[in-house]
């Protein structure tokens, strides 16, 4: 179950999280991590990134925008993180959109050890080789049972934690599955909302590399989104209000406002 005290610990320790995120959402990831209390740093050169990981507490790899040198940079960064035993979170953005994107992500996941994979339902289904109706980086459509099955399969295949973002978030270690029903319909209207969750997941896992920490990250982020949506008038103001909500959120908010259920226990 969640540990709201991890939010306080995160703010006290201010973990350095190296974010190899996509160019579309880099600003939101940086500002969101700063707002919640972490310290983000970005880079795109192999030597520079590896040296940053040598001093970091966590690593986010987001494959939203790909280029020829990305693979070696991401692989080298993850290998350094693996050697230092700091958490690696991979966000395989739009993995089902093209064969190139799918092959890139699969080769990366086979080459490194990951502590968590974050994606929407369509992305996790693509990793699990389950048919899914989606396009581009959209989540697509499917029932909760299919989402749970895909998440468990990916967690077991890669021996990792999995977080599926959506109307409800599903978090699993391949055995236990938890559903979090906080959140807002405005999340998918903001490009980068999922990418930011990946960064926040890496920050929480830097505090404690566990299923509980990932559940807490998901609950914290979803509650912040819920609070932001109560004030926002649309996607534009939601982005601004989300940053403030992440900054203002406290342990009591997370403890009292979480809507969470264990749907599979072991």
Binding-site positions for ATP read 118, 165
Burial (CB count within 10 angstroms: exposed 0-12, middle 13-18, buried 19+), residue 189: middle
Output the known binding site for substrate: 42, 192
Output the known binding site: 42, 118, 165, 192
Write the secondary structure of the chain as one string of H (helix), E (strand) and C (coil). CCCCHHHHHHHHHCCEEEEECCCCCHHHHHHHHHHHCCEEEECCCHHHHHHHHCCCCEEEEECCCCCCCHHHHHHHHHHHHHHHCCCEEEECCCCCCCHHHHHHHHHHHHHCCCCEEEEEHHHHHHHCCCCCECCCCCCCECCHHHHHHHHHHHHHHHCCEEEEECCCEEEECCCCEEEECCCCCCHHHCCCHHHHHHHHHHHHHHHCCCHHHHHHHHHHHHHHHHHHHHHCCCHHHHHHHHHHHHHHCCHHHHHHHCCEEEEECC
């Amino acid at each position: 179950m969640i540990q709201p005290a991890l939010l306080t610990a995160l703010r006290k320790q201010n973990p350095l999280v190296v974010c190899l995120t996509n160019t579309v959402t880099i600003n939101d990831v940086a500002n969101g991590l700063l707002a919640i209390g972490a310290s983000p740093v970005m880079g795109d050169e192999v030597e520079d990134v590896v040296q940053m990981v040598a001093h970091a507490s966590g690593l986010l790899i987001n494959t939203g925008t790909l280029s020829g040198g990305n693979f070696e940079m991401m692989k080298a960064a993850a290998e350094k993180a693996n050697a230092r035993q700091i958490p690696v979170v991979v966000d395989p953005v739009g993995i089902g959109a093209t064969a190139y994107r799918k092959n890139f992500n699969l080769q990366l996941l086979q080459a490194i050890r990951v502590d968590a994979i974050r994606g929407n339902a369509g992305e996790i289904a693509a990793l699990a080789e389950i048919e899914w109706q989606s396009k581009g980086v959209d989540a697509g459509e499917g029932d909760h049972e299919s989402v749970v099955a895909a998440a468990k399969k990916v967690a077991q295949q890669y021996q990792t934690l999995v977080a599926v973002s959506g109307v409800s978030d599903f978090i699993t270690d391949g055995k236990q599955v938890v559903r979090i029903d906080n959140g807002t319909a405005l999340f998918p209207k903001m490009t980068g909302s999922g990418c930011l969750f990946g960064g926040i997941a890496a920050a929480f896992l830097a505090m404690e590399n566990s299923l509980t920490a990932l559940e807490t990250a998901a609950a914290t982020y979803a509650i912040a989104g819920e609070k932001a949506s109560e004030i926002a008038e649309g996607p534009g103001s939601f982005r601004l209000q989300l940053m403030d909500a992440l900054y203002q959120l406290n342990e009591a908010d997370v403890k009292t406002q979480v809507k969470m259920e264990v749907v599979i226990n072991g």
